[in-house]
Structure 1
Amino acid sequence: MKINQLQVFVTVAEEKSLRAAARCLNLTQPAVTRSVQELESDLGVTLMTRNVQGIELTEFGIALQTRAHQILEDVRRAREELGQIKNDMRGKVTVSTTSTIAMSLLPKALEQFQKTAPDAELTFLEVKFPQAVQHLRDGSLDFVVSHVLPDMLGDDLISMPLFSTDFVVMARAGHPLAKARRLAELADAQWLSTVPSGGFQHSVMEAMFEHAGLPLPRRIIQCSSFAIALGLVTGTDSLVLFSRLLADSIASFGLQQIPLEYTQPPLEMSIIMRRGILLTPVAQRFVECLRAVARDSV
């Protein structure tokens, strides 16, 4: 199993076409086919089949795709680390983060980071936690910054706590329910959730209503992004749960907290990584900047 064979296999799997993969890799189609066949021969399994739609991975191919992507990303990190050891703080850092971090710690952490690594290539993503974990496992992400519930992590992941924060109910200024103090008074309101049922924010909402002995609200609008939720909560009578740190950051948007008698216990915001992974020096430097800003700001 060779690195170039894995690169060809991953490209074919992503493109779902031998011809398209050959174009991407600047190879001939027979060369791509031969590389895949040699990899299958080495492993003793069939990795993909052809049909009218193109290439379809077998169960062996699906299993190898994640591992192969992870290996290729680790090879890239190894090359970058050797350069960074020579005091060349270049390289790529890819991080998935939440709106809470983006609106609070991220600007200061970025400012600190760029003082020592001005030429590093940074990519920030805001993706749902299940997809972020998938990208962690295949090596596409260096680490994730997110709230963590006890059952969210598998044995292959570890978390490094940054700070704790609770969640509060937010509404537009002048909301007709602004004087409510019990959750039961908000049960018939329209709520927003930035994650599907079963996701983190939805779980926090479920826990809050369950503690109050209430069913989940009947009217919950699913929003695919923080920006959509922010637009709706500022322009309608919808309610939303935001972390207190995020709520404080966006107070100038014309929102107000509805201070209920019961509040959720604080939850951990953590840096999440693959267990046993060695971050490159430049990625480790960004982790250090996040932790330093969290200590000073929260």
Structure 2
Amino acid sequence: MKLSQIRDILAVAEHGSLRAAARQLDVAQPAITRSIRELEDELGATLFERHARGVRLTDMGKAFVRRATTVEAELRRAREEIAQLRGRHRGEVSVALSSAPSVTLLPTAFAAFRRHYPDVVLKLSENFFPAIQADLASGRLDFYVGPVEAPMAQPQFAMDPLYENTRVGLARKGHPLIARRSLAELVDAQWVRVTMSAGGNDSAFEAMFAMHGLAAPQVALHARSNLLALLAVANSDLLAIVPQPWLALPTMAGLFDPIVLDAPLPASPIFLVRRHDMPLTPVAEHFSDLIRRAALNHGRHGV
């Protein structure tokens, strides 16, 4: 098995087309076809099947790609780690964050990181743990920063708690329900629910109401983007429950008011999550240390 064959398989799996993969890799399409055929002969299994618009992975192909993705990611990290240990601070760091640490931790950590490593590419995405767990396990992501439900149920990951998380209700300026002080008084309201899952079936939102003995809230909008959620709340009577640090954003004061509830809204703590079995590259380790330092500062100042 050759590394070039792994490269070819992953490119075809990503693009769903031999022609598109050849174009991305800047190699002739017959060379990719031959590469895949030789690997299939070696494995004794068919990895792709043709269809009208290209090719798709077989079940065996999906199994191979899961392993090959990890191999490819670790080989890239190996090259970058050697270069970094030799003093060439290049490469990339891939991190997923939820919205709360994006507001509280990222600005300070990002500025410090850029001063130290201006030539390293940071790849940042906003998401929650269930949506990125497979990418973290495969090595596509270096680490994740955000809430984690039932953290003890994830033995393949190291989970470092950073700080306690809090949430608040959010409404547009002048909303008629702004003076309400409990979820029970908001039972007739309609809500925006921010979810990063395609089906919008995250249960934590409804769980907040269930903890107070209330029926499930009336969800009028599922938003897979925090920006879309804020736009919806700012331009309607819909309410949302958001991380408290959002209120510190400069743009929030003129458009929104918090709904200050008597009982605090529970939220999962913020964790830094990485794989147990594989160390980070030096620059990724440095960025994770900067995130931890920002969390310590956040805890001391309570902001």
User: TM-score, normalising length from structure 1?
Assistant: 0.91
Instruction: List per-residue Cα deviations over 1:161-189 (Å, max 9, x = no partner).
Output: 11111211111232211221221211111
Q: Does 1:198 align with 2:201?
A: yes
Counterparts of 1:72 and 1:153, CA distance in 2 = 27
Residue identity matched to 2:121: E
Residue identity matched to 2:48: M
Question: Equivalent residue for 1:271?
Answer: 272
Residue identity matched to 1:62: K
Question: Equivalent residue for 2:156?
Answer: 156
Kindly state the Cα deviation for residue 94 of structure 1 after the two structures are TM-superposed. Answer: 1.3
Residue identity matched to 1:194: V
CA contact (8 A) 1:234 1:253 kept: no
Kindly state the Cα deviation for residue 279 of structure 1 after the two structures are TM-superposed. Answer: 0.8
| Within-5 A mapping of 1:244-283 | 244-249=244-249, 251-283=252-284
Residues 188 and 156 of structure 1: CA distance in aligned 2, closer, same or farther (over 3 Å): same
Question: Equivalent residue for 1:218?
Answer: 218
Kindly state the Cα deviation for residue 158 of structure 1 after the two structures are TM-superposed. Answer: 2.9
Question: Equivalent residue for 2:84?
Answer: 84
Residues 241 and 33 of structure 1: CA distance in aligned 2, closer, same or farther (over 3 Å): same
Q: Residue 165 of structure 1: SS of its match in structure 2?
A: coil
Question: Equivalent residue for 2:100?
Answer: 100
Question: Equivalent residue for 1:187?
Answer: 187
Residue identity matched to 1:213: G
Counterparts of 2:235 and 2:104, CA distance in 1 = 23
Size of the aligned set, in residue pairs, is 295
Question: Equivalent residue for 1:288?
Answer: 289
Counterparts of 1:204 and 1:253, CA distance in 2 = 29
CA contact (8 A) 2:206 2:216 kept: yes
Kindly state the Cα deviation for residue 142 of structure 1 after the two structures are TM-superposed. Answer: 1.2
Residue identity matched to 1:79: R
CA contact (8 A) 1:181 1:259 kept: yes
Counterparts of 2:153 and 2:107, CA distance in 1 = 27
Residue identity matched to 2:150: P
Quick check: 232-241 or 246-255, which moved more?
A: 246-255
Counterparts of 1:219 and 1:29, CA distance in 2 = 49
User: TM-score, normalising length from structure 2?
Assistant: 0.90
Find runs of 4+ consecutive structure 1 residues off by over 4 angstroms. Answer: none
Residue identity matched to 1:90: R
Instruction: List per-residue Cα deviations over 1:5-36 (Å, max 9, x = no partner).
Output: 10011111112222222222222222212211
Quick check: 166-175 or 59-68, which moved more?
A: 166-175
* Identity among equivalent pairs (%): 37
| Within-5 A mapping of 1:33-72 | 33-72=33-72
